[in-house]
Amino acid sequence: MDGWLREVERRPILSVLCSSLAFMLLETLLKVLPRPHAINRDPWKSFKWKNLSVSLVHSLLTGPWAIFCVFQYPLIVYDLNSSTPVSYLLVVVSTGYFIHDARDIMFSGYARESWEFLLHHIM
């Protein structure tokens, strides 16, 4: 595992793009899975359902991961300039998600209706 983690650290842009692509593939999968009929009838609700589902997967993945990072290296809470390979990968995966989500919102045609989603990525 250490070998590929070193590659992630050597090629951060490529790694972030791969993470973003993984979330794009998840979004594609969510488009073909069954949804409630009320969601399917309204394009705005359909977009929100898909967007929030990807967001839920991201949070279910990264929330426990972040807690693990703190347990693995407790000093990271006090020394924000330090990192471990696992915490670095967490940042890479989350950055890929933020890029994917921002792109999804901007190119969906619903950027005005979902400005708060964009805003929370900027902050």
Look at the pTM and tell me if it is higher than 0.85: yes
Residues 6+ apart with CB under 8 A from 109: none
* pLDDT at residue 17, as a whole number: 96
Q: For residues 44, 46, 52 and 55, what is the CA-based torsion angle, rounded to 10 degrees?
A: -110
At 10-69, the pLDDT tens digits run 888 999 999 999 999 999 999 888 888 889 899 889 988 999 999 999 999 999 999 999
* pLDDT at residue 1, as a whole number: 54
Q: For residues 103, 107, 109 and 114, what is the CA-based torsion angle, rounded to 10 degrees?
A: 10
* pLDDT at residue 110, as a whole number: 81
